Structure formats: C-alpha cells, structure tokens
Amino acid sequence: MNLSILFSKPFQKIARDGLWDNNVVLTQNLALCPLLAVTGTATNGLGMGLATMVVMLASNATVSVSRHLIPSEIRIPIFVLLIAALVTLVDIFLNAWMHELHKVLGLFIPLIVTNCVILGRAEAFASKQPVILSMWDGLMMGAGFTLVMVVLGAVREITSQGTLFANASVLLGEGFSFLETTFIHDYKGFLLTALPPGGFIVLGFLVAAKRMLDIKLSAAKKTVTEIVPESVVNGGEL
C-alpha cells in the first residue's frame, strides 16, 4: 500500500478529528470512567491509552468488514459482543505472553469494555465507512485518547507525588527507565489530585484550555482569511 494515502484529504481530516477537533475526551467528553480511574500516573495513562487504541483499531476493523452483514436492528448487541470478545482476547494474550505488562495493566484491561467511545466509533464511523478509513479512525481516536490520558496522568502525578513516568520501565521495558524523573524530592504529596475528584478538576482545566486555544486559533484564522470555518463536525456522539 502506498503510504502517501495517509496524507490525502479524508485521512488528514480523520487524523485532525481524532487528535484535536473531535477529541474523545476534550470535545466529546466521553470515556471519563477509565480516564479518571487510571490516570493517577502518566505511565498508567499511557498503558491504558495504548491498550484502548489496539482494541479500538481491531473493533473498528471487524465492524467495518461486516458492516453490510449487520442489520441495524441488532447492531448494538453485535458491537458489544465483538468489543467484549476483543477485550477478553487482549487480556488473555497479555497475560500469557506479556506477563510483566499484564501485572501492571491487568487491573485496567477489563475497564476498556466500559469505554463507550469504542462503541461510539463502531456505531458512528466504522459501520458506515470502508475498512482502511475505519482502522485509521480507530488509530487516531485512540491516539487522541492516549494523548489526553498521558497529559492528565502527568499533571496528576507531578502534583500528587512529585514524580513523572514512575515505573515506566515496568511498562515499556528497561530501555525507558530514563523517562522516570523526580521533580520534587521529599514531596509530601497533594492528595486531592490523586483522588478521582482531583482528576475531574484537572480535566476541567484541560477542557477549558483546549476551548480557549480553539477560540484564539479561529479568531486568528478569521482575520487572515475572513472565512468562517465550517469544519467543526460533531459526528461522534452516540
């Protein structure tokens, strides 16, 4: 396959949507359950984000392949069945062949099923679009999710423990131990950001920052081109 296809218009739009414009967390405000449960540290956020991305890629691919086969009346049970099976497969395989990683992430893998955004993308995108586009969408939505997870995890970890990417070597292998940094030594800790309410508060700041940046950007664009962009598509809600 020619890689230049990834820079074509629809692919670019999907990437923009997934990473920024229609970001799972910041714009659609979905997937908050796993988000707040897991982002105590940046490493956990990264691991959960990557696992979610894999599941989303696979679920979008299978849904898209069988999209002509699935009657709309029973699509939701079939999607749920597929996603649950995929998550279980990821769980089993990680346990067998990446046991160390599973010990870190094992707690969170079943939480992926609760991630409504996977069902949302299957419903809103993969059930109507060709396979390659759907897989790209799953990858990009997953990447956008991972991005927010890591940023949120990093902010919460620094404020609550004074470290960043603690235990990264357990997740990614010894080669990544350089990521583990301690910002504040002998830090007493700020419990609020370690707890779920603190996660909500930090998330609120992130959403606000994104909105502010969007307004600034569109204002700058207006003054340059005098065109109102109609590109903000909210196609992601379930």
Which residue's CB is nearer to another protein, number 19 or number 158? 158
Choices 40-48, 114-122, 133-141, 201-209; region in contact with another protein by CB under 8 A: 40-48
For residue 77, state whether it binds another protein (rule: CB under 8 A): yes
For residue 74, state whether it binds another protein (rule: CB under 8 A): yes
Instruction: Give the Cα separation of 79 and 162 in Å (integer).
Output: 41
Helix or strand run (H / E) with residue 182: strand 181-182
What is the closest distance, in whole angstroms, from the C-beta atom of residue 78 to another protein in the complex? Answer: 5
| Of 107, 102, 111, 104, the residue nearest 83 (C-alpha) | 111
Instruction: Give the Cα separation of 76 and 123 in Å (integer).
Output: 8
Between residue 162 and residue 201, which ones bind another protein under the rule CB under 8 A?
167, 170, 191, 194-195
Which residue's CB is nearer to another protein, number 22 or number 193? 193
CA end-to-end span of the chain: 32
Choosing from 24, 30, 35, 38, the residue that interacts with another protein (CB under 8 A) is 38
Choosing from 6, 8, 33, 93, the residue that interacts with another protein (CB under 8 A) is 93
Which residue's CB is nearer to another protein, number 99 or number 222? 99
Choosing from 24, 25, 82, 154, the residue that interacts with another protein (CB under 8 A) is 82
Instruction: Give the Cα separation of 3 and 79 in Å (integer).
Output: 30
**Distance set, CA 16 to CA 48, 118, 133, 173 (Å):** 22, 18, 13, 31
For residue 87, state whether it binds another protein (rule: CB under 8 A): no
Instruction: Give the Cα separation of 180 and 40 in Å (integer).
Output: 15
Which position has the token pair 């586009």? 133
Between residue 94 and residue 123, which ones bind another protein under the rule CB under 8 A?
95-97, 99, 106-108
Neighbouring residues of 157: CB distance < 8 A, sequence distance ≥ 6: 40, 41, 42, 163, 164, 165, 166
Q: Which residues bind another protein (CB under 8 A)?
A: 37-38, 40-41, 44, 68-74, 77-78, 81-82, 84-85, 88-89, 92-93, 95-97, 99, 106-108, 167, 170, 191, 194-195
